[in-house]
Structure 1
Amino acid sequence: MGSYFAYRQMAPFGGSSLLTVDLGQQYIDFFSYFRNSLLHHPSSLIYSFSKGLGGEMWGTIAYYLFSPLNLILLAFPGKLLTSGIMVILLLRYGLAGLSFAWLIDRTGWQRGPRIWAFSTTYALNGWMIANQLNMIWLDVLVILPLIIWGLFKLIHQRQVGTYIAWLAVMMVDNYYMAWMVCLFTLLIIIWQLPVLKNWQARGMAFLRYAWSSLLAAGIAAIVLLPTIFALSQSKGTYTENVIRSRFEYFPLKMLAKLVPGSFNFDQMPKGQPNIYVGMIMILGFALYFFNSRVKWTQRIAAAGVTIFFILSFCYEPLDLLWHAGQFPVWYPYRFSFVFCCWCILLAARTLQVNYRPAPWQVLCLLVLTVVIFAYTGTLKLSYISTDQRIIGISFAGISLVYLLINRRNAPGLYDLLLICLACCDVANAAFTSLNSIAYVSQNEFATYTSQLDQASRKIRQHDQGLFRVAKTFTRTKDDPFQADFNSGDHFGSTLEPTLPDFMGAIGQPAGDGFITYSNGTQVTDALLGFKYTMTKKNPSTPLMPRSGYRPDWNGLATSASTSKVRIQRNPNSLPIAFGASNEILSLAHTTLDPVNYQSQIMQALAGRPINHSLFAVQNFTAVRFENVQSARQITGTTFRRKDFLKPAAIKLTFTPPTNDSYYLTVGPEAADDIRLSVNRKAFAQTKNYRDTIVINLAHHQKGKPVTITMRLKHQAAWLQNVSVYRLNQRSFNASLKTLKQSPLKISHFSNARISGTVNIHRSQSVLMTTIPAAKGWHVRVDGQPATSKTVLGTFMAVPMSPGHHQVTMFYRPPYLLAGTLISLVCLAGTIVIIKRQR
C-alpha cells in the first residue's frame, strides 16, 4: 500500500493527498482538533466551543478519536497532517495483517509463510479498501482477530481474560464498530458450540461468554455511559421507529461484488456490500461446507451464520440491526468487514497443507464460477468493466487449477503459488478500486490550512478572551476545529438537533448533522458574540472558496491581517453571557420568517415589545422576466422556461433609500432550483439547507441599485419566501445599548469552565448566555448552586436578581462519574477472576 501511495504521489511522496470525501471534509479537521486539544487546552476534550456554538466532546471523541494510533499525529502539525494520516493508515494495514496472522497461527490452522496469503487478504479485503477514507473505523480490523482468539480461549480453554480485555478495548476505541463486533461474537459462539461434547458444556460456555461480555462493557463504562447519554441527545434521536419487512434490492445483485475491484465513487452513497477477499479465499470458503474433517453439525451452524449474513445484506430489518437502528448516511453495509473476516476464517480452516478437494467438488466450483460471471455479465454496472471480469475469471481459473495440484511434489513452490495468487488478487482489486476515486491535492489543503491557521493565531495574539469568529470563506464546515477557533460551523454525527433547528430558524444553512454561520446579520452577529470576522483580501483567491457575502462588514475597522486574510473587529458583539429581561423565558417560536424571529429574540432580551420589529419590508423597484412567464407575485410562483434550450432568469432590482443594512430571504427550494447572483457576482452558498435563509445584500449603499438574479437550473423553479428587508439601525442600536448594560466580565475561562462577575441592571432578571443548554452544565451564583433554564429551545439562561454577582459555570459529562466507578469495579473483578483461574 505504501508503494501504491507513492505511485499516486500522495503526500509526502508528491502533490496529491489521501483526502477524499469525509476524510477530507470532516475527519482531518477532527484530527487537528485532537492534536490542538492535547497540546494546548485539554479541557476541550470534554467540551468545545469550536463545535458549532458549543457542544459536548466526550461522546464525539468516542466515535471519532479514541484510537491510540491518533497520538502519532502529535508529530505532524498543520499542513503536514496529511503525512501523519498516511503513516497511521499504513500502520493500520500492517497491524490488521499482523493481528489476523496471529489468530490463524495460534489456532494452528496455518503455519509458516502460508499465513501471509491469509493475513494479506484480510488486510486488503473489499471493506478495508472501500472504507480506507473512513479512518475512524479501521482499528476494528486490528482488534477483531484478537477478540476472536479470546473467544476461542473462552470456549475451548475456559480462559476469559483475553476476550474481556480486547472486547473492552474495542468498546473504548469505537463503540459503533464494537456493536457490530458484539453481534459477530454471538455468531462465532453459534459456530463453535457444536464442537463441545454435550449440552451442559455448551450451556456453561455460553454463560461464560455472556458474563464476560458484560464485564467488558462494564470496564468500558467510563466511555460508554456518557456516550450513550450524548447519543440520546443527538444521533440517537434519528433512530428508525418503523421497521419495514422488505428486501432493499434484488439479492443476486450482490454477486457483482465477487468481481475484483467492483467499487467506485457511486457505490459510496448507495451500493452493495464490499465483500471481495480474492478468488482463492472465496473458493476455500465454499469448500468449507464440504470439508469432511469438520463436524457436520458445525458446518450446518456455519451455513446458518452465512445465510444470516447474506440476508443482512439485503433484508431491511437485519440491516438496521447491524447499524443499531439507523440507516447509514452514505457507506452502506458498514458491517461487511465481519463477513470478509468470516470468509477468510473458513478458508483458512479449510485450505490447510494436507487438504485436497475431490475433483467433483472442483468441477462444481467451476460451474458455479462460470454461472456467476455469466450472470454479472448481463448486468450493466458502472463499477465493473470487461477487463475486471476477465481478470476475475483468470484468477478463478488459476485458483481452481491450484486446488487440483498435489502439494507433496513441491511444497515450497505450492505455498509460494498460494501466497502470490492471494496477494496479487487483492492487490489488483485494491489498485482498481482506489484508482476510481478522486483526491484533494496537497497544495489545496496546505495553502488553505496555512492561511486559516495564520489568521486564527493573529486573532489570539490580539485577544485572549472568549468569543466567536465569523468568515466568508470555507473549506469545510469543521474549519474551527482545523484552526482552533470558536465559530458557528460544524459537521458531525453527534451534533445535537436543537442547534440545526435554531440556526435554521434564524436563516442559516443547517440540516441533520451540520450547521454553518455564513449568512449572519447585524442582529445575529451581536447576539451570538461574533466579535471578529475574517474575509479574503483578494476575492478571486482560488484556494479559499467563498461561502458568504457580507456588506455589513465593509465599514468595520481592520484589526489585523495576513497575506491573504483581513481580520476585522465587530464592536457590536455581546459577550458569551449578559443581563437580559425575563421576557426571553417565555418567548415562543411562532414565526417561520427568520428576520422576524431574530427581531423577536433581540426585543424580548432588551425588554421591548416584540411586535415592534427591527426589520421592515423593502419593495422591489423593477422586476424583469427572461424566458419565463410574468407574475405579479414572486413568492409562491412556479416559474417555467418558455424555450427549453435558452437560459431563464428572474431579475429583481431595488434601490436602497437609506444607508441601513438590507437582507434577502429565500426559501430552501432555491438550493436545488436556482443559481443566485447579486450585482452580477455569483453568490456562494452551501448547497444543502432546509429552511429559509437570510442573505446580506447591501450596507451603506444609499441610492445605488442592487440587482438580484435568479437563474433556473432546471426547466422549472418554485420560489419561496422571496423578500427584501431593511434593518432599522436606530432601533437596533437602542436595543443593543440596553443589552450591553450588564455584561459578564470573565475572570477565568476554559472550554469546560467559565468564571466571572456580572452587575445585573434593575430592569433585568436573567443572565442570558449563548451557551447551548445541556444537562452537563452546572451553575453557581455567589457560591450557591443555581438552576438554569433553556430558552429559545437552545440556550442556557439563569434567573438572577438585580445586583452584583459572582458566577461560575462548569461542564461535566453526565454519567462520567458513574461510568468511572463501574469501570473500576468491573476491572477489579476481572483481575480477581483471572488470578483465580491461573
Structure 2
Amino acid sequence: MGAYFASRKMAPFGSSSILTVDLGQQYVDFFAYLRTSLLHHPSGLLYSFSKGLGGEMWGTNAYYLLSPLNLILLAFPKQWLTSGILLLLLLKYGLAGLSFGWLLKRERIQTGIRLIAFSTSYALMGWMIANQLNLLWLDVLTLLPLVIYGLIKITRQESWLPYLSWLTLLIIDNYYMAWMVCLFTILFFIWQLSRVQLKKSRIGKIIATYLLTSLASVGLSAIILLPTVSALLGSKGTYTETHIKWKFEYQPIKELAKLVPGAFNFNQMPSGQANIYVGMIILCGAGLYFFVTQDRWPSKVIAGGIIVFLVASFTLQPLDLLWHLGQFPVWYPARFSFLLSFWLVWLAALTLKPGQKIRPWILLSFAVTAVIITIINLHLAKNLSYIKPLTIYLGLGFAIAAIIFLYLEPFRLPFFNFAFVCLAIFDVGYNAVSSLNNISYVSQAQFADYTLLLDQVSEQTKKHDAGFYRVAKDFMRTKDDSFQGDFFTGDNFSSTMEPDVSKFVQAIGQPGGDGFITYSNGTPVTDSLLGFKYFWLARHQGKDNQNNQVLPLTASRPDWRRQKTVFQTKQITVKQNKWALPIAFGASDQAKKLKLLTLDPLAYQSQLYQTLAGKKTDQNLFTVQNFDHVEFVNLSTSEQITGVTVKRQQLLAPAQLILTIKPQTNDPYYLTLGAALKDTANITINGNPLNQYATYQNTIVTTVADHEKGKTVKITISLKKASLWLQNVSLYRLNSKAFEASAKQLQSEPLKITNWYQNQIKGTIHLKRSHQLIMTTIPYAKGWHVKLDGQKITPIKIAGTLMAIPATKGTHQLTMTYWPPLFNLGIMISLLTLVGVILVYLGQRKPNRH
C-alpha cells in the first residue's frame, strides 16, 4: 500500500494527498483540533467553541479521536498533517495484517509463509479499501482478532483477561465499531461452543464467564460510554429510526457484483452494496469449509447461518438498523461488512491446510458456480456503474486460478506455497488499486497553502486581541476550518451536531442541516447578537499571484467592507465589528416568552434582537422593499415574484429574470432565497457571481447592496432548467438607525470576562434594571453549571437554543462551567469495576491449598 500511495505521489511522496471526501472535509480538521488541544488547551477536550456556536467534545472525541495511534500526529505540523495521516493509515493496514496473522499462528491454524496470504487478504479486504478514508473505524480490524482470541480462551475455560482487555480497549477506541463486534461475538461464541463436546455444567460456566466479562468491559468503559450516551441523546440519537419496515433496501442479487475485483467507485460511498471482496482463493477456501473440514455438522450449519445472517443484514432493513445502532447510515452503507470478510478469511484459514486433498467434483462445482456468477454479473453490469465486463472476466480468471491451485495443493510442488501467497496478494492487491483509482484526492498544495494562510491570520488576530470572541469569514475550505485554525466561529460538520443549534441557525437564515451548520449568510443583526467581533475577508477574490483560487469564496458580505480594518495579511483583510456583543450580556426577561412566530428569517432576527433589547417586536428592523424594475427574458411573465414558478418559453434559449433596484438610502439590502433555487439557478449581482455556500435546505439571507444610495443594482437569476420556483425570493432593507440603537442598549450591560477556558467562563456583569436576564449566545446544554455570586443557579433556554441566567438588578460575579453529563458517574462505575476485576483476578490466582 505504501508503494501504491508513493506511485500516486501522495504526500510526503509528491504533490497529491491522501485527503478525499470526509477525510479531507472533516477528519483532518478534527486531527488538527486534537493536536492543538493536547499541546495547548486541554479544556477543549471537554467543550469547544470551535464546534459551531459551542458544543460538547467528549462524545465527539469518543466517536472520532480516541484511537491511541492518533498520538503519532502530534509530530506533524498542521500543514503537513496529510503526511502524518498517510503514515497513520499505513500503520493501520500493517497492524490489521499483523493482528490476524498473530491469531492464526497463536491458534496453530496456519504457519510459515502461508500466513501472509491470509493476513494480507484480511488487511486488504474490500471494506478496508472502501473505508480507508474513515480512519476512525480502522482500528477495529486490528482489535477484532485479539477480541476473538480472548473469546476462544474463554470457551476453553482459560483466562478471561485477554477478552476483557481487548474488548475494553475496542469500546474506548470506538464504541460504534465495538457495538458491531459485540454482536458478532455472540455469533462466534455460539459457533465455537458447537465445535466441542462439553458437559452442561461447563457450558453454563463458560456462558456466565462470557456474559460477566462482557459486562465488565462495558463497566470499565463507562467513563467514555455514559457521557457519550448523554451527548448522543442530545444529538445523533434524536435521528434514531422508530418506524421499522420489513423490506429489502436493494435486491440481494446485486451483492454478487461485489465478488468482482475493483467493484467500487465514488457513487458507492453515499449508497450501494456492502464491500466484501477478500480474493477468490479465500472465497473458495471458505466454501470448502463445509465440505472438507472435520468440524461436526452442527458447527457447519451454524457457520453457514452466520454467513446468511450477515448477508441478509446488508439488505433487510431491521437487521441493517440493528448493526448501526438504530440509525440508517448517512453515506458508507453496511459499515459492519468487515465482519463477513473476517468470517470468510477465518473459515478459509481453518480449511486450506498444506496438502489438503479436495475431491475433483467439489472443485468442478465451484468452477460451474463461478461461471454462473459471471453470467449474472454481466447482466447486472448493464445497470451498475462500478463493474465492467473486463473486471468481471478478470474475477472469473482469479476464480479459475484459485481452483487450479486448490487442485494442485496435494502434489506438494516446489515453491507452491510461495505461488499460493502471490496469487492471494495479487488478487486483493488488484482490487485495492483498481478501487482506489476510481477516487479523486485533494492536492497537497490545496490543503497546505490554505492551512498556512488560515493559521497566519488566526495567530495574528489572537496577538491583536487575546479575548473571547467569534470570527466570521467569506471563504471556506471545510465547515471545520475553526478546528484547523483554532478559532471560534459559527461553522461545524460532525455527527454529534446538536439539532437545536442547526434549527436555530436555519431559522436566522444560515445554511444548516442534519450534522452541519455554516455562518455564511449573516446580517449586522446576527453578527452583533452572536458576537462576531472580527471579519476575515479574502483579498484579490481569494486568488494568489498565479491566479490560483487558494481561498474558496462562500459568502457575499459587502456590508463588511465599511467596517474598521484592523490589519491585513498577504491574502486576508481583518475587519472589526463595533456592534459585536460579548458572549453574555444583560437583556430583557421578555425573551423568556419568545416563540418562533415566523418562518421569515429576517423577521425572526428582528423579533429576537428587539425582544432582548426590550423593544416592541412590531418595531421591525427589516422592511420589505419592492424591486424598481423586473425584466423577464425568455420567461413567462408575472406581476408577483416570490412564490411564483416561471417557465422557459423557448427551451434551448437562455432564460433570465432580471431584478433591478436603486436604493434610496445607504442601508444594507438583503435578498432571501428558498432552497429551490440552489440547484436550478445561477445568480449574479451587477454581473459578478453571488458567492454562496452551495448546500442548504432552508431559506437563506444574502446581502445584495450596502452604501449604494442612488446607484443601480441589477440582480440576474439565470435558469439552469426548464422552470424555476421563485421560493421566498423577497427584498428587504435594514433600518440601520434602529438596529444601532438596540445594539447600544445591549452593549451597555456586558459581561466583563476575567478568566476563561474552553469549558469555563468567569466574569463580572452589572445589570441596570429589574426584570432582566444574563443572556448568553452559548447553546443550552445540560452540562453547563452556573454560579451567580457563588450560588448555584439553573440556566434556562431562550429561542429554543440559547442559554440564559435569571438575575436581579446590580453587580454580579458569574461563573459558567461545562462538565460532561454522567461523567462523574462514569468515572465511579469504571473505578468500581476495575476494583472488582482486580479482586476477582487475584482471588483466582490464589494457590489451591488442597
Normalization by structure 2: what TM-score?
0.97
- Say which SS state the counterpart of residue 539 (structure 1) adopts: helix
Paired residue for 1:356?
A: 357
Paired residue for 1:531?
A: 533
Paired residue for 1:472?
A: 474
Q: Does 1:80 align with 2:97?
A: no
Query: Which amino acid letter does the alignment assign opposite residue 7 of structure 1?
Result: S
C-alpha distance 397-107 of structure 1, shift in aligned 2 (>3 A): same
- Say which SS state the counterpart of residue 498 (structure 2) adopts: coil
C-alpha distance 465-282 of structure 1, shift in aligned 2 (>3 A): same
- Say which SS state the counterpart of residue 292 (structure 2) adopts: coil
239-248 or 674-683, which deviates more = 674-683
The answer to whether the Cα contact below 8 Å between 2:374 and 2:393 also exists between their aligned partners in 1 is no
Paired residue for 2:209?
A: 208
Paired residue for 2:782?
A: 775
Q: Distance in 2 between matches of 1:614 and 1:461?
A: 35
Alignment match of 2:815 (pick from 801, 804, 808) = 808
- Say which SS state the counterpart of residue 276 (structure 1) adopts: coil
Paired residue for 1:138?
A: 138
Paired residue for 1:612?
A: 619
Structure 2 residue runs of 5 or longer lacking an equivalent are 544-548, 846-850
- Say which SS state the counterpart of residue 574 (structure 1) adopts: coil
Alignment match of 2:749 (pick from 727, 730, 742) = 742
Paired residue for 2:546?
A: none
Q: Distance in 2 between matches of 1:737 and 1:293?
A: 84
66-75 or 665-674, which deviates more = 665-674
Cα deviation, residue 120, structure 1: 0.6
Query: Which amino acid letter does the alignment assign opposite residue 175 of structure 1?
Result: Y
Q: Does 1:752 align with 2:745?
A: no
- Say which SS state the counterpart of residue 533 (structure 1) adopts: strand
The answer to whether the Cα contact below 8 Å between 1:246 and 1:316 also exists between their aligned partners in 2 is yes
The answer to whether the Cα contact below 8 Å between 2:92 and 2:139 also exists between their aligned partners in 1 is yes
Q: Distance in 2 between matches of 1:292 and 1:811?
A: 58
Cα deviation, residue 292, structure 1: 4.1
Q: Distance in 2 between matches of 1:496 and 1:809?
A: 20
Query: Which amino acid letter does the alignment assign opposite residue 151 of structure 1?
Result: L
Q: Distance in 2 between matches of 1:239 and 1:678?
A: 43
Paired residue for 2:493?
A: 491
The answer to whether the Cα contact below 8 Å between 2:293 and 2:351 also exists between their aligned partners in 1 is no
The answer to whether the Cα contact below 8 Å between 2:264 and 2:386 also exists between their aligned partners in 1 is yes
Query: Which amino acid letter does the alignment assign opposite residue 421 of structure 1?
Result: L
Cα deviation, residue 569, structure 1: 0.7
Query: Which amino acid letter does the alignment assign opposite residue 344 of structure 2?
Result: C
Paired residue for 1:390?
A: 393
Q: Distance in 1 between matches of 2:354 and 2:831?
A: 46
Alignment match of 1:580 (pick from 574, 579, 587) = 587
Paired residue for 2:31?
A: 31
Paired residue for 1:424?
A: 426
Query: Which amino acid letter does the alignment assign opposite residue 127 of structure 1?
Result: W
Q: Does 1:367 align with 2:374?
A: no
Q: Does 1:189 align with 2:189?
A: yes
Q: Distance in 2 between matches of 1:247 and 1:200?
A: 42
Q: Distance in 1 between matches of 2:577 and 2:327?
A: 42
The answer to whether the Cα contact below 8 Å between 2:458 and 2:485 also exists between their aligned partners in 1 is yes
Cα deviation, residue 837, structure 1: 3.4
The answer to whether the Cα contact below 8 Å between 1:407 and 1:414 also exists between their aligned partners in 2 is no
Q: Does 1:717 align with 2:724?
A: yes
Cα deviation, residue 540, structure 1: 4.9
The CA deviation string for residues 54-82 of structure 1, in whole angstroms up to 9 with x for no partner, is 00000000000001111111111121000
The CA deviation string for residues 183-210 of structure 1, in whole angstroms up to 9 with x for no partner, is 1111101211112324443333222211
Alignment match of 1:626 (pick from 626, 633, 651) = 633
Q: What count of residue pairs does the alignment treat as equivalent?
A: 837
Query: Which amino acid letter does the alignment assign opposite residue 783 of structure 2?
Result: G
The answer to whether the Cα contact below 8 Å between 2:603 and 2:620 also exists between their aligned partners in 1 is yes
The answer to whether the Cα contact below 8 Å between 2:542 and 2:550 also exists between their aligned partners in 1 is no
Alignment match of 1:765 (pick from 768, 772, 781) = 772
- Say which SS state the counterpart of residue 297 (structure 1) adopts: helix
Q: Distance in 2 between matches of 1:734 and 1:763?
A: 20
The answer to whether the Cα contact below 8 Å between 1:638 and 1:716 also exists between their aligned partners in 2 is yes
Paired residue for 1:409?
A: 412
The answer to whether the Cα contact below 8 Å between 1:159 and 1:837 also exists between their aligned partners in 2 is no
Q: Distance in 1 between matches of 2:207 and 2:258?
A: 34
Q: Does 1:177 align with 2:180?
A: no
Q: Distance in 2 between matches of 1:744 and 1:579?
A: 8
Paired residue for 2:248?
A: 247
Q: Distance in 2 between matches of 1:406 and 1:103?
A: 23
Q: Distance in 2 between matches of 1:423 and 1:27?
A: 30
The answer to whether the Cα contact below 8 Å between 1:560 and 1:568 also exists between their aligned partners in 2 is yes
- Say which SS state the counterpart of residue 611 (structure 2) adopts: helix
The CA deviation string for residues 201-244 of structure 1, in whole angstroms up to 9 with x for no partner, is 33332222111111000000000000001000000000111001
- Say which SS state the counterpart of residue 147 (structure 1) adopts: helix
The answer to whether the Cα contact below 8 Å between 2:753 and 2:764 also exists between their aligned partners in 1 is yes
Cα deviation, residue 408, structure 1: 5.3
Q: Does 1:152 align with 2:152?
A: yes
Query: Which amino acid letter does the alignment assign opposite residue 617 of structure 1?
Result: V
Q: Distance in 2 between matches of 1:292 and 1:635?
A: 72
Cα deviation, residue 407, structure 1: 4.1
- Say which SS state the counterpart of residue 38 (structure 2) adopts: helix
Q: Distance in 1 between matches of 2:483 and 2:644?
A: 41
Cα deviation, residue 763, structure 1: 4.9
Superposition pairs for residues 9-408 of structure 1, below 5 Å?
Answer: 9-198=9-198, 199-379=200-380, 380=382, 381-407=384-410
The answer to whether the Cα contact below 8 Å between 1:679 and 1:707 also exists between their aligned partners in 2 is yes
Cα deviation, residue 585, structure 1: 1.0
- Say which SS state the counterpart of residue 540 (structure 2) adopts: coil
The CA deviation string for residues 592-626 of structure 1, in whole angstroms up to 9 with x for no partner, is 11111111111111111011101111110000111
Q: Distance in 2 between matches of 1:535 and 1:598?
A: 24
Paired residue for 1:642?
A: 649
637-646 or 509-518, which deviates more = 637-646
Cα deviation, residue 471, structure 1: 0.2
Query: Which amino acid letter does the alignment assign opposite residue 166 of structure 1?
Result: W
Cα deviation, residue 567, structure 1: 0.6
Q: Distance in 2 between matches of 1:265 and 1:708?
A: 36
Paired residue for 1:673?
A: 680
- Say which SS state the counterpart of residue 355 (structure 1) adopts: coil
The answer to whether the Cα contact below 8 Å between 2:157 and 2:206 also exists between their aligned partners in 1 is no
Q: Does 1:702 align with 2:709?
A: yes
The CA deviation string for residues 28-72 of structure 1, in whole angstroms up to 9 with x for no partner, is 010001101111100000000000000000000000000111111
354-363 or 270-279, which deviates more = 354-363
Query: Which amino acid letter does the alignment assign opposite residue 236 of structure 1?
Result: G
The answer to whether the Cα contact below 8 Å between 1:52 and 1:488 also exists between their aligned partners in 2 is yes
The answer to whether the Cα contact below 8 Å between 2:356 and 2:409 also exists between their aligned partners in 1 is no
C-alpha distance 561-764 of structure 1, shift in aligned 2 (>3 A): farther
The CA deviation string for residues 123-146 of structure 1, in whole angstroms up to 9 with x for no partner, is 000000000111111111111100
Paired residue for 1:442?
A: 444
The answer to whether the Cα contact below 8 Å between 2:227 and 2:822 also exists between their aligned partners in 1 is yes
* Percent of paired sites with the same residue: 53
Q: Distance in 2 between matches of 1:122 and 1:601?
A: 57
Query: Which amino acid letter does the alignment assign opposite residue 291 of structure 1?
Result: V
The CA deviation string for residues 630-658 of structure 1, in whole angstroms up to 9 with x for no partner, is 00111111111111112211111111100
- Say which SS state the counterpart of residue 338 (structure 2) adopts: helix
- Say which SS state the counterpart of residue 415 (structure 2) adopts: helix
Q: Distance in 1 between matches of 2:328 and 2:656?
A: 39
The answer to whether the Cα contact below 8 Å between 1:470 and 1:534 also exists between their aligned partners in 2 is yes
Query: Which amino acid letter does the alignment assign opposite residue 94 of structure 2?
Result: G
Structure 1 residue runs of 5 or longer lacking an equivalent are none
- Say which SS state the counterpart of residue 313 (structure 1) adopts: helix
697-706 or 811-820, which deviates more = 697-706
Superposition pairs for residues 686-697 of structure 1, below 5 Å?
Answer: 686-697=693-704
Q: Distance in 1 between matches of 2:674 and 2:405?
A: 64
Query: Which amino acid letter does the alignment assign opposite residue 438 of structure 2?
Result: S
